[in-house]
Amino acid sequence: MNIKKSWLSSAHRGFVDGNLKENSLAAYYNAFLNGADMIETDARLTSDGVLIVNHDDTVKGMNDNGEAVTYLVAETPSEIICSVILSSDEKWGTQRVPTLEQVLNLAYHTGLLVNIDLKNGISIAESVAKLVLKYGLQGKVVYALNGSGIAGIRTILDIDPDARFIDRGVDFAKTVKDFAERGKRCFCYTSDTSEENIASIRNYGCLLALISLDKNNFESAIKCHPDMCEFLHTSDFRTIEKQYLSSIRLLNI
């Protein structure tokens, strides 16, 4: 009997090893090689209107001369942002700050689902959704709304009618309580696996995403029957899930 998982395995900012850095193309490809169903990424707008991938509002790395550099994304053109070296080694080569288009292209060719965190909120929702359609990923993206709520949902659905959404816990569940398709489209994310918190999210009829998972908290998380498991970018989720699934003993009914 083959045991198969029902949850989506998401790699937060990819999967890193060695000198590899999070939110790089190689980190996302490494997540694919290690069996991820989904990658989580962060979209920000540069001063010249290009969507790049970076978690913080500043980019830190090295220039081609090996000097440390720091740039504020919103005040710096994409040419400079995307020249920043995140890491360099023999295995993965030189990794620079990627554009969102590069990440979506990778997702298209690997079959990865993508969770895109809209770091600039609703102001970039339309632009991001249009890129998703350009790369043939409609229905394969979960948009992290960053508090933009129903307004963000409506903006994206006008462009990507197969979109799904994610935001923080019970607060998001309350926001979408009157959204008829919340049970199919809306993930509430949390790291709180208490019975009270999980029940609150489930009672609103939303999907459940448990975040910041690693080998120390995965088994307690999976007892909540999440729809999505988002692993830390340093967490070997393939090994964790394989060990868990191989240990399951089900009744033969």
Residue 129 lies in a domain: yes
- CA nearest 98: which of 84, 114, 110, 77? 84
Residue 208 lies in a domain: yes
Is the confidence at residue 250, as pLDDT, over 70?
Answer: no
Range 54-70 average pLDDT: 97
**Residue bearing tokens 């489930």:** 202
Local confidence band at 2 (pLDDT 50, 70, 90 cut-offs): low
Is the confidence at residue 1, as pLDDT, over 80?
Answer: no
Quote the pLDDT of residue 253: 41
CA angle at 151 for the pair 190 and 206, rounded to the nearest 5°: 35
Exposed/middle/buried for 115, CB within 10 Å: 0-12, 13-18, 19+? buried
Q: What is the DSSP letter of 215?
A: T
Range 147-156 average pLDDT: 97
Q: What is the pLDDT of residues 130-143, one digit of tens each?
A: 999 999 999 999 99
CATH of the domain at 179: 3.20.20.190
Residue 76 lies in a domain: no
Q: What is the pLDDT of residues 86-127, one digit of tens each?
A: 999 999 999 999 999 999 999 999 999 999 999 999 999 999
Residue 73 lies in a domain: no
Give me 216's structure tokens: 């120390």
Residue 79 lies in a domain: no
Instruction: Give pTM, 2 decimals.
Output: 0.95
Quote the pLDDT of residue 138: 95
Q: What is the pLDDT of residues 155-196, one digit of tens each?
A: 999 999 999 999 999 999 999 999 999 999 999 999 999 999
> What percent of the chain clears pLDDT 70, i.e. is strictly above it?
97
Domains contained in the chain, number: 1
Exposed/middle/buried for 2, CB within 10 Å: 0-12, 13-18, 19+? exposed
Beta carbons within 10 angstroms of residue 116's beta carbon: 28
Residue 80 lies in a domain: no
> What percent of the chain clears pLDDT 90, i.e. is strictly above it?
93
Local confidence band at 247 (pLDDT 50, 70, 90 cut-offs): confident
* Average pLDDT score, the chain: 95
Angle, to 10 degrees, between the axis of helix 125-134 and the axis of helix 100-110?
Answer: 40
Local confidence band at 248 (pLDDT 50, 70, 90 cut-offs): confident
Stretch (H or E) spanning 50: none
Buried b vs exposed e over 232-246: b needs ≥16 C-beta within 10 Å? Answer: bbebbbbebbeeeee
Instruction: Print the domain residue range for 224.
Output: 8-55+98-246
